[in-house]
Amino acid sequence: MERRHFCLLPALSGSFMMNGQAPADPAGNPFFREWTGPFGMPPFAEIHNEHFLPALERSIDEARKEVIAIGDNPAPPTFANTVEALDNSGELLEKVQGVFSNLAGAETNDTIEAVSRKVAPMMAALRDDQTMNPKLFARVKAVWEKRDSSGLQPEQIRLADETYKNFVRGGAALDNAGKERLRAINRELSTLSVRFSQNLLKETNSYKLVIEKKEDLSGLPEGVVAAAADAAKRANLPGKWVFTLQAPSIWPFLTYADNRELRRQILTAYSKRCDNGNEYDNNQVLYRIAALRAEKARLLGYETFAHLTLEERMAKKPEKVYDLLNQLWKPALGLAEKEKSDMQAMINAAGAGFQLEAWDWRYYAEKVKAQRYALNEDEVREYLSLDNVLQGAFMVANKLYGIRITERTDLPKYHSEVRTFEVKDADGSHLGIFLIDYHPRPGKRVGAWSSRYRGQRIKAGKDIRPIVVNVCNFSRPAAGKPALLSPEEVETLFHEFGHGLHSLFAKVRYQGLSGTPRDFVELPSQIMENWATEPAVLSTFARHYQTGNPIPPELLAKIERAGKFNQGFLTVEYLAASLLDMEWHTIKSEPKTDAAGFEKAALGKIGLMPEIYSRYRSTYFQHIFASGYAAGYYSYIWSEVLDSDAFQAFKEKGDLFDPNLARAFRARVLERGGSEDAMQMYRDFRGREPSVAPLIEKRGLGSNRQ
């Protein structure tokens, strides 16, 4: 399941020069020369803000000229001179975008944000220029029509098919008026998405809960208090304590703080992000995005935007998504009601005299868990230092696939906190470079993600290996301790590492086949979470940060017993967001009410209990309004069906590291990218289609017992 991670950090101090006055002339622009350093890594120390816009403008112009030349080629269209040529075009743009887009997410600043706003419509226009070029489309169509009789290999046939479909879905078959309208829609959508994301970052960073009285810290663990004191120092508020809307700050506060009014204040601020009628308000932005997407779908001949999007996913159509979500909704809601009753009983027994509210849930859930299982998350954290967890993830990958991951301190990095590793296969050959960036900063967007500075591809017969990065927002070290992770953060580290392995293992010939459907791409990441939480695996890397002693068997037993605790809440808040996403993207025209009214009606229709908020409200639902998960947030639970079933295969073998099964998973899932149908790849691995039963069991949704 997707993880939420949202804190503050000192001033930027990395080797990447954020505000330097570098020369902007082409001769001094590092993007315009070959990178000859180790593994072709970007020379971050030489890249300055002033280089981005001219590099993007030139690379966009070059990519446009390349596409025009392919369309104008007088030779008869062939796979090589048309489809393959398209796949190889835009190399400079890929190089520039690989750096710029990653820094825009992990290390942004005012200049990068301004460039993002300017370049977004330029990129949209470039995509439209390609797909709406009639000469180019005619050539692509000619190759596509003869794909089965031209002696092409299966991978080439699939690329021809995917390329043709991308053109049609991009408006190639529209008349001139339709094309012009689609261009206008795409241009406006690109600008609105950037605005939504930048508003969210600014609104999130602008909030501080400042605590001046020590008694208001009652209940909070020592490490949480120390981190808040450090945050106050960075905010020039020495002697006070600062809590923010970043994950390592807000969630521990809501879990442990005894002060109910302060819990209400911080959760209210979190849930009202970009919904305050100020300069960062996203209501009109997201409303317009939804309306434009609905219009775009109609223009292209689809009933709704969800129909347009899901056509290329495993789900294929909205009905299948709703079917899965609704299967889970009722049992999840029933379990959440049981959890609510247990907490209300505790409140009543203490004579507190109030009804449970949303800002009470995590606090009383922790108390019920401690009472029922004698399990304290803060005690567990002491065995989960960041370095040990990271080595645990590397160990799992080594035992499964034989790969070796070695830190390299000689490679360029964009910030001093980034760590770089070389990944080698079992035979010693180079697989790729892996970067990690694990702590929050003001210039880093919230959440956790995996990305690439360079993707894997075959160029002139040579296998170009990837440069992959994992970016997260984990708890910082505090009070002389190492960074100690929560169990959820451990799962997140393994999750994003799973995405990283997917990129590192890629073994496809064509860039156009490197991606997988959104509702399949979470399988490689989520399956890794299963190893992270297996007691037999956890015991190998969970060691006390002071003594080095392994986690005691009795504590492992408590963790295992509590494994299904609070799953009603976790499933309901996730499903509510997934259903909200689908509601926004199954509209057939502009919504009849404003954004707030639409959301209220959508969540009311499913009967969401007021004590649980949707994981994301619309105004800060970045996944669907500023990322690639529109009509796709369900993908996490869809993929969880796959990962639960796939991990069950290892359990059935009686060996969580069965080498034959690991080889099959790597060869049939991780290496193939999008070169084959996703369900067929899964069947090739499992021998059948996935069963939902392992997921139901894992989440404890088969009954209301915990």
> Which residues are known catalytic residues?
496
User: What does each C-alpha distance from 179 to 86, 103, 138, 442, 506 come to in angstroms?
Assistant: 21, 33, 16, 40, 35
Give the C-alpha separation, 283 to 377, whole Å.
37
- Token pair for residue 335? 């379990």
User: What element of type H or E holds 241?
Assistant: strand 241-243
SS3 425: coil
Q: Which of 245, 158, 17 is nearest to 675 (CA)?
A: 158
Q: How many residues does the chain have?
A: 706
Which residue has 């209220």 as its token pair?
600
Residues facing 436 on adjacent strands: 419, 470
Query: SS3 breakdown of the chain: % helix, strand, coil, rounded to 5?
Result: 60, 5, 35
Say which amino acid occupies 508. Answer: V
Count of CB atoms situated within 10 Å of the CB of 512: 22
3-state secondary structure 495-542: HHHHHHHHHHCCCCCCHHHCCCCHHHHCHHHHHHHHHHHCHHHHHHHC
What are the start-end ranges of the H helices in 235-259? Answer: 247-256
Residues facing 405 on adjacent strands: 423
Neighbouring C-alpha atoms within 13 Å toward the C-beta of 139: 26
Q: Which of 619, 641, 24 is nearest to 285 (CA)?
A: 619
* DSSP calls for 586-639: S-SSS-SS-HHHHHHHHHHHTT--TTS--SS-GGG-HHHHSSS-TTTTTHHHHH
User: What element of type H or E holds 457?
Assistant: strand 457-459
Give the C-alpha separation, 552 to 268, whole Å.
38
- CB-count burial class (<10 Å; 0-12, 13-18, 19+) for 65: exposed
Neighbouring residues of 515: CB distance < 8 A, sequence distance ≥ 6? 521, 673, 674
User: What does each C-alpha distance from 443 to 27, 99, 476, 572, 683 come to in angstroms?
Assistant: 29, 15, 16, 31, 42
User: What does each C-alpha distance from 461 to 41, 153, 432 come to in angstroms?
Assistant: 21, 16, 17
Q: Which of 326, 437, 336, 357 is nearest to 390 (CA)?
A: 437
Q: Which of 570, 661, 573, 558 is nearest to 609 (CA)?
A: 573
Give the C-alpha separation, 200 to 273, whole Å.
7
Give the C-alpha separation, 590 to 182, whole Å.
16
Rounded to 5°, the CA angle 463-511-188 comes to 150
Which residue has 């241009």 as its token pair?
187
What are the start-end ranges of the H helices in 300-376? Answer: 305-310, 318-349, 361-373
Q: From its phi and psi, is residue 458 left (phi > 0), alpha (psi between -120 and 50) or beta?
A: beta
